Amino acid sequence: MSARAPLDRDHGLELLRQMLLVRRFEEKCVELYSATKIRGFMHLYIGEEAVAAGAMQALESDDAIVATYREHGHALVRGVSAASIMAEMYGKLEGCSRGRGGSMHLFDAATRFYGGNAIVGGGLPLAVGLALADKLRGRRQVTACFFGDGAVAEGEFHECMNLSALWDLPVLFLCENNLYAMGTRIDRYESQTDLALKAASYEMTAWSVDGMDVLAVEEATRRAAAEVRAGSRPCFLELRTYRFRAHSMYDPDIYRSKDEIEAWKQHDPITDLIERLRAGELIADSDVEELERSIAEEIDAAIAFAEAGTLEPVAELERFVYAEGASA
Amino acid sequence: MTVAPAKTITYREAMREAIREAMLADDRVFLMGEDVGAYGGCFGVSKGLLAEFGQDRIRDTPLSESAFVGAGIGAAMGGMRPIVEVMTVNFCLLALDQIMNNAATISHMSGGQFQIPLVIRMTTGAGRQVAAQHSHSLEGWLAHIPGLKLLAPATIDDARGMLGPALADPNLVLIFEHGSLYNLEGELLPEGGAVDIERAAIRRTGSDVTLIAYGGTVATALTAAEQLARIGVEAEVIDLRVLRPLDDETIIASVVRTQRAVVIDEGWRSGSLAAEVSSRIMEQAFYELDAPVARVCSAEVPMPYPRHLEQAALPQPETVVAEVRRMIGLAADE
């Protein structure tokens, strides 16, 4: 096992910036939702930021990403601009999916971000196929597939574990275990709650990681991605995390105790990282203040961009039902 | 210049030649599905291809329809040109999430950022006494979905010629091969190549009634047309070929000429492709009609095993003839 790289100031600040951006972006989304600027389903990643921020460090620009409907964080950390994501949430033409997908369906071909998939487990076969294409073309690329613990109960999960291991496909399965499939706790829907054990039964390397610790996530994901890339083999990480907010904006959150939520909030990945960076004397209070200031500016600019955006003309409603132009 | 002689070939062989040609022409093309390799394909279509192309390109899959159909979608998005074989349309229900929620939505939902140049082939239809879980014609369900293209080759030429253009299409194209057609024999010119995948075809011309069919029911319609000719009724037979998007122009032009139409569909009547075709005729040619559009569909039952009940459930030429007679006011003994 490789030792964890010593944390330096610049990298620590970058991880902090990414997690803070996701946190503040979503906090603003809640306000905008209340103001009815954002509609539909919206699922917040608050509390789970360390997973996307840590995992994305291991990916190269030509790697592919498949995500879920709780994917604002993944898109932001991957480098899809806050402005184009916010415009998407507003349903504006300038959004990353032309305003047609909304919160759950962020797509961005430029960063190989293959969506926001809102069918639990539905992204896994896509990831397997993207990896199959890479393998058949001899490209040493990784497809990172994020999904939640709830997906593990879907048949598609088992089909894809088996197929990717059987065919030696370069998929990095990143299971964000926040302990709840919507409102049902994992021990009430899984006969085996050790998810890494389940994945390992398909003959792939699998282990569990503290998903609240961004450095632990980064270290594990780098190791797993290196294994996937070098061996053209799938790998599975269970990232143990927790969402601090309800499942969606419609969820009254009556199935968890306040004490349980508070206990997890004591392990806030952002405050934990700040404390660690401070303890190592790598950052000062002013660094955090500066980050907060620049992120607030970025989000304000994103909102202004979304507000100024245009609505897609109704005349274009049927565009792209079928692909336009010849096959690439 | 010498013209190469036409050769006799089966529908199954025509399909195999189409796959071979596509694989030779483009190294992004590969075939995957249950038993397509070592077994040679459940219906023998891919026999010999594993030996010729190897297991990277002729891929036997586990019985995981959702995973391998979804993997086909992902591989298509990743730059490949996959051909996925689903053993029968009945099993594609296990992959419907991938077909509907991914393949049919991603182009539109992403604002046109991604294409899905994927072909899925599947067998459809009844007539072989394989009972209620292997016999249904679910094309109508799939034809309901915007974003998909559906083809139903009913001839040797179409079996040979539809795959190439389908692979060149940037959308998911579903090809339905009626199980009763695999042993169909016919002549194919050696250079027999791509056919259009946009238009319906007139398989027989006639002036008195238009019989509209696709896939396995094209033969039913042609047989009915022969029987009708014996009583002096000339039927035009349209083979839809393309089930989505429908070629309204060919259908309507024919109905305007004949002023009568019978739609023959192996799917169930309620909510069927026949219902869609009938509606379009009503919408676009109502005042040209001499009689209401008639439909001959499968009985609304799960397909039974015994031959007499299966045949009773399926559209028969005699039923088509009876409908036409009723339409034009001929008594049963005339």
Strand-strand pairing, A113-117 and A64-68: parallel
Mutation site, B83, B86, B92, B106, interface A, largest A CB count within 10 A: B106
> Is B142 inside a domain boundary?
yes
Per-residue pLDDT at B146: 98
Please answer yes or no on whether A107 and B114 come within 8 Å at the CB atom.
yes
Determine the 3-state secondary structure of A128 from DSSP. helix
Mean pLDDT score, A73-85: 98
Determine the 3-state secondary structure of A113 from DSSP. strand
> Is B55 inside a domain boundary?
yes
Residues B136 and B259 in one domain: no
Residues B172 and B269 in one domain: no
Mean pLDDT score, B273-281: 98
Residues B177 and B206 in one domain: no
pLDDT tens for A221-261 read 999 999 999 988 999 999 999 999 999 988 999 999 999 99
pLDDT tens for B49-93 read 999 999 999 999 999 999 999 999 999 999 999 999 999 999 999
> Is B334 inside a domain boundary?
no
pLDDT tens for A279-320 read 999 999 999 999 999 999 999 999 999 999 999 999 999 999
Residue A138 has pLDDT above 60, yes or no: yes
Measured between CB atoms, does B259 come within 8 Å of chain A?
Answer: no
Cα–Cα distances in Å, from B94 out to B66, B97, B99?
6, 8, 10
| Cβ pair B41, B12 in contact under 8 A | no
Mean pLDDT score, A8-23: 97
Chain A residues with CB-CB distance to B169 below 8 A: 327
Nearest Cβ partner for A159 among B30, B66, B171: B66
Chain B residues with CB-CB distance to A328 below 8 A: 79, 115, 117, 170
Give the CA-trace dihedral at B255, B261, B265, B271, to 10 degrees: 90
> Residue A218 carries which side chain, given as an amino acid letter?
E
Measured between CB atoms, does A313 come within 8 Å of chain B?
Answer: no
> Residue B105 carries which side chain, given as an amino acid letter?
T
Residues B48 and B83 in one domain: yes
pLDDT tens for A176-209 read 999 999 999 999 999 999 999 999 999 999 999 9
Mind spelling out the 3-state secondary structure of chain B? CCCCCCEEEEHHHHHHHHHHHHHHHCCCEEEEECCCCCCCCCCCCCCCHHHHHCCCCEEECCCCHHHHHHHHHHHHHCCCEEEEEEEECCHHHHHHHHHHHHHCCHHHHCCCCCCCCCEEEEEECCCCCCCCCCCCCCHHHHHCCCCCEEECCCCHHHHHHCHHHHHHCCCCEEEEEEHHHCCCEEEECCCCCCCCCCCCEEEECCCCEEEEECCCHHHHHHHHHHHHHHCCCCEEEEECCEEECCCHHHHHHHHHHHCCEEEEEEEECCCCHHHHHHHHHHHHHHHHCCCCCEEEEECCCCCCCCHHHHHHHCCCHHHHHHHHHHHHCCCCCC
Q: Which of A 245-264 lie inside 8 A of B, CB atoms? A: none
| Domains of chain A with CATH codes | 9-316 (3.40.50.970)
Q: Quick one: pLDDT band at residue B182, thresholds 50, 70, 90?
A: very high
Residue of B nearest to A141 (CA): B78
Separation of alpha carbons B256 and B209, rounded Å: 10
Domain stop point among B124, B158, B188: B188
Q: How far is A271 from chain B (nearest CA, A)?
A: 35
Residues B61 and B150 in one domain: yes
Q: Quick one: pLDDT band at residue A3, thresholds 50, 70, 90?
A: very low
Catalytic residues of B: 65, 134
Measured between CB atoms, does A132 come within 8 Å of chain B?
Answer: yes
> Is B1 inside a domain boundary?
no
Measured between CB atoms, does B67 come within 8 Å of chain A?
Answer: yes
| ipTM beyond cut 0.90 | yes
Residues B178 and B210 in one domain: no
Nearest to B126, CA basis, from B142, B138, B144, B143: B138
Residue B196 has pLDDT above 60, yes or no: yes
Mean pLDDT score, A110-119: 97
Separation of alpha carbons B280 and B288, rounded Å: 13
pLDDT tens for B84-133 read 999 999 999 999 999 999 999 999 999 999 999 999 999 999 999 999 99
Q: Which of A 167-186 lie inside 8 A of B, CB atoms? A: 167
Q: Encoding tokens for residue B257?
A: 């000429």
How many other CB atoms sit within 10 Å of the CB of residue A46? 20
Please answer yes or no on whether B108 and A324 come within 8 Å at the CB atom.
no
Residues B112 and B233 in one domain: no
Nearest Cβ partner for A126 among B74, B169, B170: B74
Helix or strand run (H / E) with residue A238: strand A235-240
Nearest Cβ partner for A156 among B59, B67, B82: B67
Q: How far is A130 from chain B (nearest CA, A)?
A: 5
Chain B residues with CB-CB distance to A124 below 8 A: 67, 70
Q: What pTM, to 2 d.p., does this model score?
A: 0.96
> Is B333 inside a domain boundary?
no
Nearest Cβ partner for A327 among B73, B106, B169: B169
Domain stop point among B151, B167, B188: B188
Give me the domain span that covers residue B67.
7-188
Residue B6 has pLDDT above 80, yes or no: no
Residues B176 and B109 in one domain: yes
Residues B207 and B169 in one domain: no
Q: Quick one: pLDDT band at residue A2, thresholds 50, 70, 90?
A: very low
Q: Which of A 62-121 lie inside 8 A of B, CB atoms? A: 64, 95, 97-101, 105, 107-109, 114-115, 117, 119
| Total of domains in chain B | 2
- Burial code of B146-175, b = ≥16 C-beta within 10 A, e = fewer? ebbbbbbbbbbbbbbbbbbbbbbbbbbbbb
Domain stop point among B160, B188, B216: B188
Percentage, residues of chain B above pLDDT 90: 94
The pLDDT mean for chain B works out to 96
Mean pLDDT score, B189-205: 90
Per-residue pLDDT at B188: 85
Residues B228 and B284 in one domain: yes
pLDDT tens for B129-181 read 999 999 999 999 999 999 999 999 999 999 999 999 999 999 999 999 999 99
Residue of B nearest to A126 (CA): B74
> Is B302 inside a domain boundary?
yes
> Is B168 inside a domain boundary?
yes
Separation of alpha carbons A282 and A294, rounded Å: 19
**φ/ψ of residue B158, rounded to 5:** -75, -35
Per-residue pLDDT at A245: 95
Specify the CATH number for the domain of residue B92.
Answer: 3.40.50.970
Chain A residues with CB-CB distance to B113 below 8 A: 97, 107-109
Chain A residues with CB-CB distance to B108 below 8 A: 100, 319-321
Mean pLDDT score, A94-105: 98
Residues B96 and B208 in one domain: no
Residues B269 and B320 in one domain: yes
Q: Which residue has the higher pLDDT, A72 or A250?
A: A72
> Is B194 inside a domain boundary?
no
Per-residue pLDDT at A1: 39
Q: Quick one: pLDDT band at residue A327, thresholds 50, 70, 90?
A: confident
Specify the CATH number for the domain of residue B308.
Answer: 3.40.50.920
Per-residue pLDDT at A232: 87
pLDDT tens for B317-334 read 999 999 999 999 886 655
